[in-house]
Amino acid sequence: MLVQNLEKLGFSNALIIGGAEIDKNFGLAARNLHEIDVLPVQGINVYDIMRRQKLVLTKAALDALEARFK
């Protein structure tokens, strides 16, 4: 359901950063979408961020990044 909504909202060419672990079903469904990458917060890197037009952070990812750079 969420993956279908991403397509409807125009989330093409996007990088989605999740928490420490990505939900298995979400990861499997998202890899079927063209130009969508899903990474756990530990996998975030400049190269992946720069090659996508959109960056989506979950609340868990935002909290983890804030704690890492504090």
Q: Mind listing the pLDDT tens digit of every residue in the chain (70 residues)?
A: 566 666 666 667 888 998 888 888 888 888 888 788 899 999 888 998 999 998 989 999 999 989 988 8
Distances (CA, A) of 13 to 36, 40, 70: 6, 17, 30
pLDDT at residue number 2: 62
pLDDT at residue number 36: 86
pLDDT at residue number 59: 93
pLDDT at residue number 63: 93
User: What region does 20 belong to: left with phi over 0, alpha with psi -120 to 50, or beta?
Assistant: alpha
Q: Which of 35, 50, 44 is nearest to 62 (CA)?
A: 44
User: What region does 37 belong to: left with phi over 0, alpha with psi -120 to 50, or beta?
Assistant: beta
* Contact by Cβ (8 Å): 23, 4: no
